[in-house]
Structure 1
Amino acid sequence: MINISPEREAQKALEIKTVAEGRRRFAERNREKVKRSGYENHSEVQKLIRGAIPIVAEGVREWMDVSSKARGRKPTSLKALMELPVDTIATIGMCCVFRCLGRAGRVAELTQDMGRRVEIELEGKALEAADPKAAKALLKLGQGDLTEAVLEKRFRALVEENEAALHWDDDTRVLVGQTILNVVLRKLSDVFYQKTITQNGLRHAVVMLTDQAAAAIVEMEDLAAMEHLPLLPMVAQPRKWESNSSGAYYCHRLARLVPMVRTRSKEQRKLVKEAIADGSMQEVLDALNAIQDTRWEIDDRVLDVILWARETGLRPSSSFPTDKTPEVPEKVSPEEWEKMSKEEQTARRRQRRSVRQVCQALAVDKGNFDRDMATAQEMAQHNCFYLPHSLDFRGRTYAVPYFNHQRSDHLKALFRFADGVPLGEDGGRWLKIHLANCGDFEKVSKKPFEVRTAWVDENASNIIATVMDPEAMADWWTKADSPFCFLQACFEYVEWAESGFDPEFLSKIPGAADGSCSGLQHYSAITRSADEAYHVNLVPRSDVGDIYQVTADAAMPSLQAEAKAGDASCQIILDNGFGRGEAKRNVMTYFYGSARFGMREQHMQDLMRPLADKVAMGKLEKHPYEQITLRVNKDTKEETWAPDGGYSCARALAEHIYSAVTTVAAKADEAANWIQQVAAALAHESLSMIWRTQTGFPVVQRYSEFTTKEVNLWLYSRTIRPAQGTDKVDHEGNTLSRVRVLLRQAPTSRVDKKTMRSAASPNVIHSMDAAHLHKSVAKARALGITAFSMIHDSFGTHLGNMEAFSRIVREAFVECYEDYCPLQELDRYARSVLSEEGIEKLPPLPSKGNLDLNLVLEAPFAFA
């Protein structure tokens, strides 16, 4: 008899509960969607509609061909239907049939509804010809959140105004609808059938789902529910990764949802299998297993404060949810609206839209928070729990459960190691460094270590007071950079102090050694650029390098010069203050592939739209970056003046920061451009870009093109993409089998050249930081370190082991590049697969600088 541990029994019960709860929640969401939007919007019905559209379209095409060639009088519906694409007609047929099913409607009502939908589509075409601008605006509204009744009212007014109304009678609509319904019933005989029922003594024809189709929808819903399960932490040690499908959960239904490497590429799965078999990626397996073997527990000290903050409405950080929902401004009367200028109307519309978006985001945040807290309280009942981990296609390591320490500050602070490690000789110093880093008051984390530890000594009284009464000290600790992680460190520090600063004090919270703009760190090692390495602390220095401040300083002169020359955007930026904060995200993401467009969007997302939200919520009187700008409609060329929501300033910020960072990090820019050129050469011949990291992990970059088309119906608030499956279909088989085959969306043999080029350099760098993480963990595990808190370029373990781990991280970084260069790896691969013509297009390898990699071993702030 096999003895199963209590932990395994508990894990089995948790996995059974996960499956049941996930299926319940998925079904509940579908019921809500059907109740709100109709049966045709049920998620699995949507799939059935997508798969059936090509089949019904084929039937419509056949009917048109036969009817147009037949002798004698043509069907009344032929002329009308010939004016619309067959995909549109098929979409109308499928949506109307399922809408009728959801309402238990009759055939007479169904055919009239179908005919009315065709009439609307034809009127829409006429409206587009008569007033393109109005038609475009209405189509855009149709993709929003307005009800169909409101949309139809606006549509009808525009159609009448432009004399585009058809004014069909009911008989015409029924005749057109009957034609479509006949095609649907004939082509989808395994899905629908017509029968006669008696109601109140009267006989009516209705359309019904076949038993086979109803069972298929239930089966599809069950499969979809499994794919959307809320995967949870484990209370038993995860199964070890020994193959691509061998690790994490014990329940087969859950385990099959979690492969070791999340990739769509069959080629990559094959290469991973071979690399595991020949042992070349053993370091990756060792690291992944070590990370997910880490024993965690919930820090109930922090949990109590989080629940108190939520209950009292305190919001220590922007990632912490709030219950304070803003009120959507009331609509003004038509008379007031007419008196407003176009600019005032635009501002009013944007204000209402902005508040609605804020309300929707708050609702999502609240739901996530409640689920996170429920999971935390459940995990707190166990002695320890585990976070199974897996890899993305670049090798980056992610926790599988949504509840994990890689998310926002208040969640990260809930996690501490289940086993303590003595602080020892150096752990107390690392605790102080960690405490200062989390608080980052007056940017102390950018100062030398001795300044950080001194900050803790100077603020010991506040730290102790915070632990004694977090509520009373909330005005202080909530201003920390990471408030809850700072609070957790305060708790740990005070407990250590109460022990008399005993070196044997068992500390459980993770410390961390963070990379200093890790993207540029990797580029500096690849290119051996000593100057760029200096900016990101890869060489010894007495102060802490700050590439974000260096870039901001480099951008300032050009901003000032253009402002002086009369550029209004630059002047507004300077008036509002420009510095490190405005440059940081742009610089950080530049080394992971962000260009001008992406940088501009970051400023819109991080700065401009939040300010617009504050204006909309009445917290701010005026948007400080907003300007009135001239806009030109691309279709009508009509010019209008309107507030830009800070767009012009966002664009100027992106332009100047991009120019500065490419100047400050010229060698990195050269390497990134080289990688993109190689990717472009490969993409030109529809080839994948393949490389192996220093730890032996095979990366396959291939962004294939898919054959897709979209159908937009007037007044229907969803764009439908008919299935475009490319598998062979047995036309003698049943309809449901054909639908399923069509739903198997297969990529074409062509690659998306634009994405292949733009994604290449960030994917290479992400794979390099993944290799560095794997090598660091594997080396540390071999030396006896058993607990890890890893977030890409943040290397965490017990504070008592941080001194050793910090050294290991630097050693692993040097080993990653001592005898390995990803550019040479890519060059060799490209030359092995490209044609002679393609090889001639390859750029020469960038020259290398004179950086001595061994200096990293003596660089204290490289990972700190």
Structure 2
Amino acid sequence: MQKSSSPALNQLLRVVRSCKAIFWEFEAAPATARAASCDWTRHQQAPGPWFPPPGPRLFSALPALAPSTEEDWWNRPEDTARQVPGEAHYQLWAQLANIRDQGTLRQAERRTRGKPNTAYPFAPVTAYLNSRKRNGEFDDTVLDLWARQAEILASKPSTDRNVYGPYIMLLPPRVLAAVTLQVAMNHFLTTFSMHLGFVKVSSLSYGIGTAVRQSVVIQQIRSKWKQEQDRRRKVRKVLKKGPKGPKGAAEGGELRALAAELRELGEYGAQIDESWLEDHESFQDRMAALKYGWAGLKRETGELQFHALQGPPGGGPGPKGRNWQKLNMLRAMESALKWDKELIVKIGSSMTKLLVQSAMYNTLPERRDEFGNLLPAETSRVFFHERVRNTVLNIRGQSLGIVRIKPEVLAKMERSHSAKASMTEVRHLPMLVPPAPWKTPFSGGHVLTPACIMRGYEERLADRSSTVNDATYATMPETYDALNFLGSIPWRINKQALAVVDEAWTRGGAIAGLIPRSPPVQPSTSLTGLRTRAMPYNLMTQGFVSFDLHCENRTKAADWRKVSAEQYALKCDIEIKLQVARDYAQEDRFWYPHTIDFRGRAYPMHANLQHLSSDDTRCLLEFADARPLGPRGLYWLFVHASNLAGVDKVSLADRYQWTAENLDGVMDSANDPFGMNGDGAGKLWTSASTPWQFLATCFEIRDALASGNPEAFLSRLPVHQDGTCNGLQHYAALGRDAEGGSSVNLTPADKPQDIYSRVARLVAIQVEKDAQVGNKLAQGVQGMIDRKLVKQTVMTSVYGVTFLGARDQIANRLWERKWSEDDKLVRQTATYLARITLKELGNMFQSSKVIMNWLRKVAGVVAADNHPVEWTNPLGIPISQPYRKEVKKEIWTAMQQINMELGPRPDSEVHKSKQKNAFPPNFIHSLDASHMMMTALACKENGLSFAGVHDSYWTHACHVDVMSKLLRDKFVELHARPLLAELREELQRKHPELNLPPLPEALDSTRQFDLELVKESDYFFS
């Protein structure tokens, strides 16, 4: 490579190396390419020079184009657009930046009444506060925040002000008010607190403090952008001067050498094409293009220029103690990611106290009396701080600090859909451009929101845990590639399904598994009073009630509260899903960035509308890219419909035949989902086991047949292939267990084996035997044992379900059937059935039981030495079980004393029982995660679209045969390795001082299974 002794170029190289040339390819693009339409989905096919695909470097460059204020943004969009070469770029930036790069422009415009604020993550509430400014609503909170910050500047003493003071100085008062109000209303509108009318001080304080921290992080990111922009200015100055002028540099010399060196930089190195430096004219165009995005750019000049230092409106204390404030604010800014839970609670509590004291709303606006005199507006407080006995939450004897909301305000917010939408924060919305690819543990996914590739480590980003530090691309490239592939799959909303779900919800729910919108009827409380003097006599007289009836009424009230809480939580979830689906219904495509949990399982970052959610949510999603059905696509649509209907315990041919025989019902469901009664009664789709996905399949089958040429029909519906009790499949493969493998379809068969029905038959046989010898419990459940009764226990047995857990699962099934109203009898019977079920499972899967016990022993030895169990999964993911003992502390805050669990610390003692009992299921989860990612990468190599739900793999109907072969090949490839031996060797290497138990010899007697048979099993996944 050509070297240069030019001081200017040496300086340039130092600058470029320091920032790793993050923005080079964005700046160096030809003007013609920049002015072209930004069709990101077809960028690879574009002729000539072109922008690189959206990635970390391009995404980091886009924020430089943002106007400095929302007024610049909204009132002068034409000026802003002129800063960007091409209207498409302006639209792209608008979509990227709105509400932390997560939502659509239309969504932001509607929710913020036309003025999105891209500076902070709580733009909807900032606009909500602005919209209330005319009536003076909530403005007292903003003014009080000015006063609070002025008191901090004046060093006025107060409880813990020296602790939280520097931190609340980091944001302007209006933003702090928006954050506080947003979180408070979000707690009331999206949790069971809506039903109770209050929220615990501890949870509200922690929520507000966390939101303040997030806002400071956003401000910190913007400040770093400013620093990066300064570096870029230096680069441009050197480039413009050039030792030989633009023409000489273009023809060759140091600039060409610089381009070559930049290509050799690390993972963030520039991707500069030397063909861009061919002639003088193109070089001049590029130099002129460097000016775009900078004209009119007005940003903060550094971390120490804070709005709060200006004092409150109308004057106030001067900058007393300013140097101290600067120092502490700088420290707070730099350590924003390191705020511990205690500090977060103190900050949130101070904001909560201020909200309770100052938040007002107008009960009556300003008006004139009959004489024309102006009457002032009448106001009332919104929030109240109280202490109550926590009997309503079934925790007796505790005094609980709560924040209660005025019922009229809450009712108004609940009735107003637009107000509720503006107050509800939805994190990590689907992206309108492909996610930034993961290249390090801390860079990837969303653009502006800091994230970690491993879920659960977000609050420890600055600590750089050793587990996450080891999760680099070099150690686990397949995992990075798989996550990037999963995130690159474009989705869109199934508008036909959305219309039906939306209509069903509008009609009150309670259709095809949807919860009812109306709350459950509250039981009568007229007889719950109990007089102490009546207790010894157990009497029932007027005004009194017996002790037994009193306890029964209390139990009914507790059950009602539990059901109400669950139903309200589901109601909020459905409303959020539908709102997101409506917002994205007009988008051609959107993307889900993925992360992994500590076991390696992949999840979309968005928590509501995604394919890992419930049946009524999955039906709303389809692949954005359509594929023709081809010769086998319609066949798999028919099989898929049968699976969703619950007819999945028969052969594939019989499943196809079932759909063919019920085709009239399929067409009727698609053409008239609700029927004459408006509730879908009598329709085929409402009787399916997964009705909403079945209905979406009905739409697809109808449209394919109506096209006249099903093979050419462009299908977007994901078709599933599901494993059979996948955890037991992995156990059977680990132990080479022929009998166990046959029970979970690892071996070829004419029809699928149903492990749940098989266990149910064995349990029923034992119950019949016990009933014949006079067992009263067995006699009570004769003829009632079926697969549904034992399914959950069988499914969770592989994940370490305890005996008490199995008992509760079976008891829940008995209660659902209203088998008996005697709770004691139900629990006794469930205990009896749980014992038999677990015994029969152990007899069926002896190798699984041996492996599970060995894994527990190994984990017990490691945990006994106060070490967490750590291992590496087959794809190189470093896994560390996070179970440590919680640290509890009494925190004195501005409002009250709060008892909180601060969570485990890195130096906390490990939780030995959790480390031991959780290791078997976590190890199996790490294997199914590896299998899913291996299959995903194989699908990528073969040009397939793919989505995974742990043990359910999705693709287009035309590609099911290809995916089925790939997933079987990858399962065999995974288990061909001596996984248990590798695990023991790694643990022994990590802990050479420990005497780990050897591999179980009992497995030698069960190693009779040939893994290659899995490739021939039609029902391994089906």
TM-score by length of 2: 0.59
User: Which stretch of the first structure deviates more once superposed, 693-702 or 385-394?
Assistant: 693-702
Mapped to 2, the partners of 1:545 and 1:298 lie a distance apart of: 35
- Counterpart among 237, 243, 247 of residue 440 in structure 2: 243
Q: AA paired with 2:790?
A: A
Q: Which runs of 5+ in 1 are unaligned?
A: 49-90, 105-115, 125-134, 150-224, 612-622, 628-642, 713-717, 725-743
The match for 1:259 is 453
Work out whether residues 445 and 452 of structure 1, in 8 Å CA contact, stay in contact via their aligned partners in 2. Answer: yes
The match for 2:563 is 358
User: Which stretch of the first structure deviates more once superposed, 526-535 or 32-41?
Assistant: 32-41
Q: Secondary structure at the match of 1:475?
A: coil
Q: Which runs of 5+ in 2 are unaligned?
A: 1-26, 39-88, 102-107, 109-120, 126-178, 210-344, 359-385, 405-421, 530-539
The match for 1:813 is 971
Mapped to 2, the partners of 1:301 and 1:238 lie a distance apart of: 27
The match for 1:756 is 915
Q: AA paired with 2:472?
A: I
Q: Quick one: structure 1 residues 674 and 779, their matched pair in 2 at CA, closer, same or farther if it must change by over 3 Å?
A: same
Superposition RMSD in Å: 4.0
- Counterpart among 582, 598, 608 of residue 805 in structure 2: 598
Tell me by how many angstroms 1:229 deviates. 5.4
The match for 1:43 is 204
The match for 1:775 is 934
Mapped to 2, the partners of 1:854 and 1:406 lie a distance apart of: 31
Mapped to 2, the partners of 1:317 and 1:694 lie a distance apart of: 41
Tell me by how many angstroms 1:721 deviates. 2.7
Q: Deviations over 1:181-225 (max 9, x none)?
A: xxxxxxxxxxxxxxxxxxxxxxxxxxxxxxxxxxxxxxxxxxxx9
Q: Quick one: structure 1 residues 8 and 781, their matched pair in 2 at CA, closer, same or farther if it must change by over 3 Å?
A: farther
Mapped to 2, the partners of 1:300 and 1:372 lie a distance apart of: 14
Mapped to 1, the partners of 2:880 and 2:958 lie a distance apart of: 39
Mapped to 1, the partners of 2:508 and 2:620 lie a distance apart of: 19
Q: Secondary structure at the match of 2:660?
A: helix
Work out whether residues 482 and 936 of structure 2, in 8 Å CA contact, stay in contact via their aligned partners in 1. Answer: yes
Tell me by how many angstroms 1:239 deviates. 0.7
Q: Deviations over 1:638-684 (max 9, x none)?
A: xxxxx438322332232221111111111111111110100001011
Work out whether residues 763 and 785 of structure 2, in 8 Å CA contact, stay in contact via their aligned partners in 1. Answer: no
Q: Quick one: structure 1 residues 429 and 282, their matched pair in 2 at CA, closer, same or farther if it must change by over 3 Å?
A: same
- Counterpart among 868, 877, 884 of residue 704 in structure 1: 884
- Counterpart among 613, 637, 653 of residue 450 in structure 1: 653
Q: Secondary structure at the match of 1:503?
A: helix
1:570 paired to 2:778: yes
The match for 1:202 is none
1:375 paired to 2:580: yes
Mapped to 2, the partners of 1:139 and 1:795 lie a distance apart of: 42
Q: Quick one: structure 1 residues 39 and 275, their matched pair in 2 at CA, closer, same or farther if it must change by over 3 Å?
A: closer
Q: Quick one: structure 1 residues 690 and 578, their matched pair in 2 at CA, closer, same or farther if it must change by over 3 Å?
A: same
Q: AA paired with 1:721?
A: N
Mapped to 1, the partners of 2:541 and 2:695 lie a distance apart of: 51
The match for 2:874 is 694
Mapped to 2, the partners of 1:566 and 1:337 lie a distance apart of: 45
Mapped to 1, the partners of 2:904 and 2:394 lie a distance apart of: 27
Q: Secondary structure at the match of 1:671?
A: helix
Q: Quick one: structure 1 residues 503 and 139, their matched pair in 2 at CA, closer, same or farther if it must change by over 3 Å?
A: closer
Tell me by how many angstroms 1:242 deviates. 1.2
The match for 1:480 is 688
Mapped to 2, the partners of 1:349 and 1:780 lie a distance apart of: 56
The match for 2:625 is 419
Tell me by how many angstroms 1:493 deviates. 0.5
The match for 1:397 is 602
Q: Deviations over 1:92-150 (max 9, x none)?
A: xx99999899569xxxxxxxxxxx99xx9xxx9xxxxxxxxxx999994345999999x
The match for 1:505 is 713
Work out whether residues 260 and 390 of structure 1, in 8 Å CA contact, stay in contact via their aligned partners in 2. Answer: yes
Work out whether residues 492 and 623 of structure 2, in 8 Å CA contact, stay in contact via their aligned partners in 1. Answer: yes
Mapped to 1, the partners of 2:201 and 2:710 lie a distance apart of: 66
Tell me by how many angstroms 1:226 deviates. 14
Q: AA paired with 1:687?
A: H
- Counterpart among 721, 746, 758 of residue 899 in structure 2: 721
Work out whether residues 724 and 1020 of structure 2, in 8 Å CA contact, stay in contact via their aligned partners in 1. Answer: yes
Mapped to 1, the partners of 2:350 and 2:775 lie a distance apart of: 55
TM-score by length of 1: 0.69
- Structure 1 residues 23-422: aligned runs within 5 Å: 23=179, 25-29=182-186, 43-44=204-205, 140-142=395-397, 230-251=427-448, 254=449, 256-263=450-457, 270=466, 273-274=469-470, 276-278=472-474, 280-318=475-513, 320-323=515-518, 325-332=520-527, 334=529, 340-402=545-607, 403-422=609-628
Q: Deviations over 1:363-409 (max 9, x none)?
A: 22222221111100101121111111110000001111122111111
The match for 1:746 is 905
Q: Quick one: structure 1 residues 40 and 494, their matched pair in 2 at CA, closer, same or farther if it must change by over 3 Å?
A: closer
Mapped to 1, the partners of 2:552 and 2:671 lie a distance apart of: 48
The match for 2:865 is 685
Tell me by how many angstroms 1:607 deviates. 4.7
Q: Quick one: structure 1 residues 349 and 824, their matched pair in 2 at CA, closer, same or farther if it must change by over 3 Å?
A: same
Q: Deviations over 1:774-808 (max 9, x none)?
A: 000001101111x2221000000111111100110
Work out whether residues 671 and 846 of structure 1, in 8 Å CA contact, stay in contact via their aligned partners in 2. Answer: no
Work out whether residues 541 and 859 of structure 1, in 8 Å CA contact, stay in contact via their aligned partners in 2. Answer: yes
Q: Quick one: structure 1 residues 29 and 138, their matched pair in 2 at CA, closer, same or farther if it must change by over 3 Å?
A: closer
Work out whether residues 625 and 646 of structure 1, in 8 Å CA contact, stay in contact via their aligned partners in 2. Answer: yes
Mapped to 2, the partners of 1:41 and 1:446 lie a distance apart of: 50
Q: AA paired with 1:315?
A: A
Q: Quick one: structure 1 residues 803 and 268, their matched pair in 2 at CA, closer, same or farther if it must change by over 3 Å?
A: farther
Q: Quick one: structure 1 residues 764 and 434, their matched pair in 2 at CA, closer, same or farther if it must change by over 3 Å?
A: same
Work out whether residues 890 and 900 of structure 2, in 8 Å CA contact, stay in contact via their aligned partners in 1. Answer: yes
Q: Quick one: structure 1 residues 39 and 601, their matched pair in 2 at CA, closer, same or farther if it must change by over 3 Å?
A: closer
Q: Secondary structure at the match of 1:686?
A: coil
The match for 2:1015 is 857
Tell me by how many angstroms 1:287 deviates. 1.3
The match for 2:741 is 533
Q: Deviations over 1:706-725 (max 9, x none)?
A: 3436799xxxxx9943577x
- Counterpart among 721, 726, 736 of residue 518 in structure 1: 726
Tell me by how many angstroms 1:549 deviates. 1.1
Work out whether residues 629 and 713 of structure 2, in 8 Å CA contact, stay in contact via their aligned partners in 1. Answer: yes
Work out whether residues 455 and 597 of structure 2, in 8 Å CA contact, stay in contact via their aligned partners in 1. Answer: yes
Q: AA paired with 1:847?
A: L
Tell me by how many angstroms 1:699 deviates. 1.5
Q: Quick one: structure 1 residues 25 and 751, their matched pair in 2 at CA, closer, same or farther if it must change by over 3 Å?
A: same
Q: Secondary structure at the match of 2:710?
A: coil
Give the length in aligned residue pairs: 660
Tell me by how many angstroms 1:38 deviates. 8.7
Work out whether residues 693 and 771 of structure 1, in 8 Å CA contact, stay in contact via their aligned partners in 2. Answer: yes
Greater relative contact order structure (CA < 8 Å, 6+ sep): 1
Tell me by how many angstroms 1:353 deviates. 2.0
Mapped to 2, the partners of 1:460 and 1:144 lie a distance apart of: 61
Q: Secondary structure at the match of 1:141?
A: coil
1:655 paired to 2:825: no
Q: Quick one: structure 1 residues 486 and 98, their matched pair in 2 at CA, closer, same or farther if it must change by over 3 Å?
A: closer
Q: AA paired with 1:677?
A: K
Tell me by how many angstroms 1:276 deviates. 3.1
1:20 paired to 2:123: yes
- The percentage of aligned residue pairs carrying the same residue is 26
Mapped to 2, the partners of 1:545 and 1:494 lie a distance apart of: 31
